[in-house]
Amino acid sequence: MKRFISLLYDLESEGLGQAWLVGGVVRDFILGRESADVDIVCEERNANAVVAKLGGAIVGKPPFCTVSTSLSGFPVEISVLTGSSIQKDLERRDFTINALAMNAEGGVIDPFGGQRDIQNHVLRLVPALASPYEADPVRVVRLLRFACVLDFAVDPGTEEETERFIAEHGAELANVPKERYGKEFLKGFAARPHCFLTLLEKYSLLPLVLPEVEAMRGVEQPAAFHPEGDVLKHTFRVVEEAQRVIEKNEKIEDCRKKEDVVLALAALLHDVGKPQTAGVHPKYGHTCFFGHEETGEKMSLDLLSALAVPGKAASQVAALVRHHMIPGGDFAKRTCVKLIRKLGPELSEKLFDLALCDARGAMGTGENIQAARSLFHEVRDNLRQAEEAASKRWLNGHDIMKILGISPGPRVGRILEELDVAVGTGELRSKDESVGWLKKRYS
C-alpha cells in the first residue's frame, strides 16, 4: 500500500493536484487482500491534461472517463474529479464498500460507512443516489459478483431495491450490450461459479442476460441417464461440481489454479447446444441430442465473444464443450494420443475435470472417467518422457518419409499417429526402436 500511496505524490509532482486511491484498492487493503486494480482520482478536471503529462489513453466519455496509463511500472486507471470534493465524487459510486478513498497520508475517507460494512461482510448501495442502478444497470450483476467473490451478504434494503429495479427494467437489462456484463461474469465464474449462477437465478436475471442458458429450462432428458431432471437442473449440478474442484485447488499449497474461469464456463456451457438439437432417438424412442457438442461449440464461441471473454480462454472453453463426451465413451490409448495432440496435456487434463463434473452432475460416480484419466496419465507420461529425452519427437513426418521412401500425403499423418500410440503405450522406448518398428511394420 505504501508503494501505491507513493503514486499519489507522483501525480502531485506532475502538477495534477491532490490525488486519492479509491474504490477496490482501498477495500482490498482493509480486507487484507491483494488488489489487481489501482484506481486513482486526481483534482485535475481535464482528462486530456492527464494524458499530456502521463501518457496513456482516455477510456469512456467525459465527465466519467478514465485515463488508462502506467505509473512506476503499475498499470493504473486515473479519473478526474467530477464533484466539488472527493466526498462528492464518492457519492456516485455503487456500493458503500467501494465508496472509499485514501489520501497521501494514509487517511481513509469513508462518508457512507463502507468500513463498517466491510467489517460486517455486507453489500449495501450508496445511499446518496436516488437509484444507483439507473446510472448503470450493469451494477445489478456487479452486486452478485461481489457477493460471490467476497462472500458478502446483501443488505435487505439493497436486495429489495435490486429486485424492484430488475422487475421494472427487464427489457433494458436484456438490451445491455453483452460485453458490458463480461467483466462481472469472468470474475464471478472464476471464483465461485455455482454461487454466481444461483444468484442470477434468484434475481431472475438468467433470461435477461443469459438467454442461451435459460433456454435449457424444461428441456427434458431420459431419466435413465439424467435422474436429476432437465438440462438446466443438470447444468446447475455440473457447475456446482466445478466450484468444488476450484475450491479444492485453492487449498492446495502453491497451486496456481486458484481461479479457473475456463473450467467454470465450460461447465456452464457444456450442454448449451442441447435445446437446439433435441429430438427423438430413431431406435429407442427417448429424447436424444445428436450433435449437441458441435452446436454447443459454436454457440459457446458466439456467446463468449459477445461477453468479450479473451480469445484464448474462449477457444479453450469451446474446445472443452466440443470434446466433453470423449472421456466417458469408449476410451482407448489411441484416444489419449489424439487428445494430447489436439488439445495439449494441460487442456486435456481440464477436459477430465469437466467430464467428471458432468458425470457427477448426472448423479453418477464418475468411475469410468477416473479409469480413463489413469490411462491418459500413463500415455501422457510416456510421450513426455520420450520428448524430454529427445528434446522433441524422436521422429517427425520428414523422418518417416525419408526412412520409408514415401511421398507427402495423408498416409504420413496416419503413420505418425500410429507411432505416437506405440510410444504412448510404452511399446517403443528410443529413437532406434522407433526406426526399427517403422521399417518392420511398413516395409
pLDDT band at 259 (very low <50, low <70, confident <90, very high): low
Give the model confidence (pLDDT) of 217-238 as tens digits.
999 999 999 999 999 999 999 9
pTM, 2 dp = 0.87
Quote the percentage of the chain above a pLDDT of 90.
Answer: 64
Q: Measured between alpha carbons, how far is 369 from 185 in angstroms, rounded to an integer? A: 29
The C-alpha cell at 351 is 477436459
Parse the chain into domains and list their residue ranges: 1-120, 330-443
Could you tell me which CATH class the domain 1-120 is placed in? alpha beta
Averaging pLDDT over each range in 27-36, 48-57, 235-244, which range is the top one?
235-244
Cα torsion 342, 343, 348, 352: sign: negative
The answer to whether the beta carbons of residues 310 and 301 sit under 8 Å apart is no
Return the top range by mean pLDDT from 3-17, 346-360, 425-439: 346-360
Q: Give me the pLDDT at residue 253, please.
A: 45
Query: Rounded to whole angstroms, how far apart are CA atoms 63 and 79?
Result: 9
Inform me whether the pLDDT recorded for 255 exceeds 50.
no
What number is the average pLDDT over the span 351-368?
96
Question: Rounded mean pLDDT of 274-290?
Answer: 94
pLDDT tens-digit profile of 143-158? 999 999 999 999 999 9
Distance CA 41, CA 100 (A): 11
b vs e for 34-44, b when ≥16 Cβ sit within 10 Å of the residue's Cβ?
ebeebbbbbeb
User: Counting beta carbons within 10 angstroms of the beta carbon of residue 131, is it exposed (0 to 12), middle (13 to 18) or buried (19 or more)?
Assistant: exposed
201-213 pLDDT, tens digit per residue, is: 999 999 999 999 9
The answer to whether 129 and 91 are in contact (CB under 8 A) is: yes
Confidence of residue 392 (pLDDT cuts 50, 70, 90): low
Look at residue 110 and tell me whether its pLDDT is greater than 70.
yes
Overall average pLDDT of the 164-189 stretch: 94
Bridge partners, 70 (sequence order):
75
Q: What's the mean pLDDT when you consider all of the chain?
A: 91
345-361 and 311-323 helices, crossing angle to 10°: 60
Q: What is the mean pLDDT of residues 21-30?
A: 94
